[in-house]
Structure 1
Amino acid sequence: MKVNLIIDSSLDEGEVQVHAQNATVGARVLSYVDHFTKDKENITVKSNDEFTVIKKMDIVCAEVHNKILTIYTSKESIQTYKSLTMFLDELNSNTFMQVSKSELLNIQKIKKVEPSFSGNLIAVMSNGQKVNISRRFVSILKERLGI
């Protein structure tokens, strides 16, 4: 990927424009920029009677089962009572995406993507965990990964 920096003093203060040939390249660039520009790098999760502070970039994936959200990092798993949608909103980052009704993942922690039956995919994550990507989210994931 070729990147150029063009200084344009006519832009409003705090305004940045990104130009890309297609949506896939644009999404990849925004994902990288998003990683470095978010105000909060950590997220606080209530688990039982304690609060755990997790670095967002340490989160590999998360899943909801029986109304319990399990957040997986490379070192541990934390359980809490939050909806997947609420957790995704709190993450507030293009690096994370929902890939099924009950799972989300950090696209920067995907090691490889394998085909599955019925048009689904399976993402093998950096911690070895396998995450199912439903057909509904396959095209979005492919676009975000640039494949």
Structure 2
Amino acid sequence: MKIKATIDSSLEETEIIIHAPANEQIHKICQLLQEKNKMISTLKVYKGITEYYMEVPRILFFETEGRQVNAHTAEHIYITRYRLYELERLLPQNFMRISKSTILNTEKIFSLTHSLSNSLVQLQDSYKQVYVSRKYYKELRKKLEERK
């Protein structure tokens, strides 16, 4: 596969043209580019009365607690005004739902311990851990295998 990029600073909007035979790899590339275009890179979160603009890759996972959604980083917990179903649409592909109440950044997984009812995920550079329900375990394993 050859890749050619022409950089033109006079253009106001990015245009990507792909000339290729139809195959699965090209369809995946196009799909990723379209999804990436829709994704957010920062997220407005709150801690007390302070509003923060958090870089999405810093977030380890999102978790519901009562009626609010918390965004967990390695150091802190922030509140977001989005619902989990809204976050699923907005976040990049490395985020995935792992239970009814949790969305996980799969790039931050350190270890995965499997058991019959659910599996424990330990996160990089953090003491925090979350559980993957049986319903989502196979999908998470598949995503981790793709990451290799």
**TM-aligned CA distance change 1:82 to 1:137, over 3 Å:** same
Shift in Å, 1:71? 0.7
**TM-aligned CA distance change 1:114 to 1:15, over 3 Å:** farther
Greater RCO, 1 or 2 (C-alpha within 8 Å, sep 6+): 1
CA deviations over 1:83-113 (Å, ceiling 9, x no partner): 211223232x101001000011100000010
RMSD: 2.9
Which has the greater radius of gyration?
A: 2
Q: Which runs of 4+ in 1 moved over 3 A?
A: 15-20, 37-40, 46-50
Shift in Å, 1:6? 2.2
Aligned residues: 126
Q: Secondary structure at the match of 2:60?
A: strand
Q: Secondary structure at the match of 1:138?
A: helix
Which deviates further from its counterpart, 46-55 or 102-111? Answer: 46-55
Q: Secondary structure at the match of 2:99?
A: coil
* Counterpart residue number, 2:11: none
* Counterpart residue number, 1:103: 102
Q: Secondary structure at the match of 1:85?
A: helix
* Counterpart residue number, 2:77: 77
Which blocks of at least 5 consecutive residues in structure 2 are unaligned?
5-14
Shift in Å, 1:38? 7.1
Which blocks of at least 5 consecutive residues in structure 1 are unaligned?
21-25
Residue 126 (structure 2) pairs with residue 125 (structure 1): no
**TM-aligned CA distance change 1:122 to 1:78, over 3 Å:** same
CA deviations over 1:107-130 (Å, ceiling 9, x no partner): 000001001232x21111111211
* Counterpart residue number, 1:63: 63
Which deviates further from its counterpart, 103-112 or 41-50? Answer: 41-50
TM-score normalised according to structure 1 size: 0.70
Shift in Å, 1:76? 1.4
**TM-aligned CA distance change 1:98 to 1:48, over 3 Å:** same
Separation (CA, whole Å) in 2 of partners of 1:79 and 1:42: 14
8 A contact 2:46–2:78 mirrored in 1: no
Amino acid at match of 1:106: N
Shift in Å, 1:66? 0.5
Amino acid at match of 1:79: I
